[in-house]
Structure 1
Amino acid sequence: MDHWDEVRMFLAVAEGGTVRAAAEALKVNHATIIRGVGRLEEKLNTKLFEKLATGYRLTDAGSDIVELAGQMATASSQIEARIFGRDQDVSGPLRFTLPISFATDLLMPTLTAFRANYPDIALEILSSGSVVNLGNREADVALRVVVGGASPPENLYGTELCEFHMGFYIARDLACSRSLTPAWLLGANEAVPTDWAPDAGIKMASVPIRFAEMRSQLEAVRAGMGISALPCFLGDADPLLARVPGGPVTHIGDIWLLTHGDTRRTKRVRLLCDDIRSAMQGFAGRLAGRFEGGASEFL
C-alpha cells in the first residue's frame, strides 16, 4: 500500500482513542490527523471510525484492518531502525534556520557550545527574516514564530516551545526628558496603533518612520528617535529602554522547533534539537515579557 502515512495516523487514532492523542503521539497537528484518516477512508471507500462524544470508535471495517496496520507499523519501525543506524555519526552537514534576533540575542552561546561539543558537524546557521522551506530540504531544523494560533505545516514534525510576546518601548532618556516629540517607529507592514495612546504626557509626532528590518528599528529606539513595538526579550533586556506606560504586551504567537520527517531522527538533528529546546525553554519567561530586572515602565 502506498498510503503508509495515512495508515500510521489511523493506527494512532485507534490506539489513542482521540485525534488529540494521535496528534500528540505523532507530533503533528490535529488537522493533519483528520485529513490523513479521511484520505485513507476515501482510498478504501469505507468508514473506519465512528465519532462519539468521548472520542473515536473503530467500525467493523476499522477493526478488520487494525491488526494489519499494527504489523505494518512493526515492519516500518524495523526498516527505520536499520536505516537510522547508518546515519548516527556525529558529523556531516546540518542547516539550522531561525530569526536573526533569536540567533544574535538568545542562542549564539548555545550554538557556540554545540559547535565546541561536536566539531565534526558542519553547522550552517541561516539567520534570516525569511521563511526557509524545510520541505525542500533548504534546512534541517527550523525555529519559527507561528502567529495567530496557527499550526505549522502538516508535513513537518514540531514541538511547541513557548509563547512570544511584544510590547512598546521608548528610550529611557527620551522618556525622562519630555523635551522631544517621539515618532512612531514602524515595520514595513505595521500601522500606527489606534486602540491606545501613550500615557505620562507623551505627545507623538504626526508622521511615522518606517524600517525594512527590526535591527535598525531597535537601534532607532535606543537612539531616542521614537516608540516602537519590539519583542519583549529584546526590549526588557536593554537598560537603555523602558516600556511605554499604557502600552499593551501582546501574545503574537508561539515558538515552534520544527524538523522534516526524513531527517528528524538522525543523531546530529536530535542533538541540536535537544540543545535548542532546552535553551529556549530557559528563555520562556523573557519571551513572554516576564523578564525580571529588565526594562520597567518609567514614571
Structure 2
Amino acid sequence: MDHWDELRMFLAVAEGGTVRAAADALGVNHATIIRGIGRLENKLNSKLFEKLATGYRLTDAGTDIVELAGQMATASSQIEARVFGRDQRVSGPLRFTLPISFATDLLMPTLAGFMHAYPDIALEIIASGTIANLGNREADVALRVVTGDTTPPGNLYGMKLCEFYTGYYGHLTLLAAPSGSIPWLLGPGEAVPSEWLPEGGIRMTATPIRFAEMRSQFEAARAAMGITLLPCFLGDVDPVLARVPGGPVARIGDVWLLTHSETRQTKRVRLLCEHIRTAMQDYAGRMAGRPDII
C-alpha cells in the first residue's frame, strides 16, 4: 500500500473523532489531515467519513477498512520496534514519557545531565497525564505510577523503582494560625475526605474549590487558598507548605520504569533507563514520604 501516511491520518481521525484531535495526535496541522483524507478517499474512490457538527463519523466504507488499517498500523509498529531494538548507536531519536510533576519538579536535572553526557541523542520529553502506547512507538521509555498491586502488561518490560505516597498539605501560615473555615482544593475525580478531619483547630468549609489539573491545585495551596492532596515528593520539599496535622500519608502505588520488550536492548534506551533508575533510587525516601531522607 503506497498510502500509508494517509492511512495513519484516517486511523487518527477514526480514533479521535475530529481533525483537530488527529492533528494533535500526529503532530501535524489540521490542513495536512484534511488533504490526506481527501487523497485516500480519491485513491479508494469512496467516502470514508461523514462530516458532522460534532466531528467526523465513519461511513460504511470507512467502517469496513478501519480494522484492516489498524492491523497494518500494528504491523508497522512491530517492524519499527524490531529494527529499533537492534540499534546500538548513541545517537538518534528517543521518546521518554512521564507524569508532568515528575518532569517539572523531580527529574529535569537528571534529564539535563543525560543530555550533557549524550548530546547526539535527540531526546523528546513527553510530560503528560495520558498514558502513551509503547507498543505503537508513541514512546520508547515510560515512567508510570502503577496503582495498587497490579503489574504492567506482559508485552512491556519493567522494573519497579520505588513506592509512591501522597499526603495533605497547606500553607505554613494557614496551618499555624487558622482563622475561619478553610476550603478543600480538589483535583479531577477527587472527593472531600470523609475518614479524617484536620487537627489543631482547623475547620473546613463544606464547599470545595476544584481544579482541572494538579499544577494549578499545587499553586493554589502555595497561595494559601486551602488544603490539598499532593505527592509527598512535591509537598515535603516546598518551603511554604507543611503537612496538615492529623492528615494521613497513603501509599498510592509504585513507580515503574517501562520499555517495550522489542526495544529494551536499544543502547540509548538502556542508557536512559540507567540514568532514571539511579536518580529514582536517590529519591526513594522522598517518594515514600520520608522527608528526613531527601
**Equivalent residue, structure 1, for 2:196:** 196
Give 1:292's aligned amino acid.
D
Aligned positions of 1:184-263 closer than 5 A: 184-263=184-263
Q: Deviations over 1:142-182 (max 9, x none)?
A: 00000011111111000000000000001001112212421
Aligned positions of 1:1-299 closer than 5 A: 87-292=87-292
What TM-score does the superposition give when structure 1 sets the normalisation length?
0.69
What TM-score does the superposition give when structure 2 sets the normalisation length?
0.70
**Equivalent residue, structure 1, for 2:51:** none
Structure 1 residue 135: Cα displacement: 1.3
Q: Distance in 1 between matches of 2:86 and 2:293?
A: 48
How many residues end up aligned between the 2 structures?
212
Q: Distance in 1 between matches of 2:122 and 2:273?
A: 15
Q: Deviations over 1:15-65 (max 9, x none)?
A: xxxxxxxxxxxxxxxxxxxxxxxxxxxxxxxxxxxxxxxxxxxxxxxxxxx
Structure 2 contact 85–263 (Cα < 8 Å) conserved: no
Structure 1 residue 86: Cα displacement: 5.4
Q: Distance in 1 between matches of 2:84 and 2:104?
A: 33
Give 1:214's aligned amino acid.
M
Q: Deviations over 1:157-208 (max 9, x none)?
A: 0000000000000100111221242101111101101100000111101101
- 5+ residue gaps in structure 1? 1-82, 295-299
Structure 1 contact 84–265 (Cα < 8 Å) conserved: no
Q: Distance in 2 between matches of 1:178 and 1:126?
A: 40
**Equivalent residue, structure 1, for 2:72:** none
Please list every run of at least 4 consecutive aligned residues from structure 1 whose deviation after the TM superposition is greater than 4 angstroms: 83-86
Q: Distance in 2 between matches of 1:255 and 1:84?
A: 25
Structure 1 contact 174–180 (Cα < 8 Å) conserved: no
Q: Secondary structure at the match of 1:132?
A: coil
Structure 1 residue 103: Cα displacement: 0.6
Q: Distance in 2 between matches of 1:152 and 1:87?
A: 25
Q: Percent identity?
A: 68
**RMSD of Structure 2 on Structure 1 (CA):** 1.5
Q: Secondary structure at the match of 2:203?
A: coil
Structure 1 residue 293: Cα displacement: 8.1
Q: Distance in 2 between matches of 1:291 and 1:245?
A: 15
Structure 2 contact 184–227 (Cα < 8 Å) conserved: yes
**Which stretch of the first structure deviates more once superposed, 173-182 or 155-164?**
173-182
Q: Distance in 1 between matches of 2:135 and 2:291?
A: 35
- 5+ residue gaps in structure 2? 1-82
Give 2:235's aligned amino acid.
G
Q: Distance in 2 between matches of 1:245 and 1:85?
A: 50
Q: Distance in 2 between matches of 1:270 and 1:90?
A: 10
Q: Deviations over 1:72-125 (max 9, x none)?
A: xxxxxxxxxxx8995211001100000011111111011001111111100000
**Equivalent residue, structure 1, for 2:14:** none
Q: Measured at CA, do residues 283 and 241 of structure 1 come closer, stay the same or move farther in structure 2, by a change above 3 Å? A: same
Structure 2 contact 157–259 (Cα < 8 Å) conserved: yes
Q: Secondary structure at the match of 2:181?
A: coil
Structure 1 residue 279: Cα displacement: 0.2
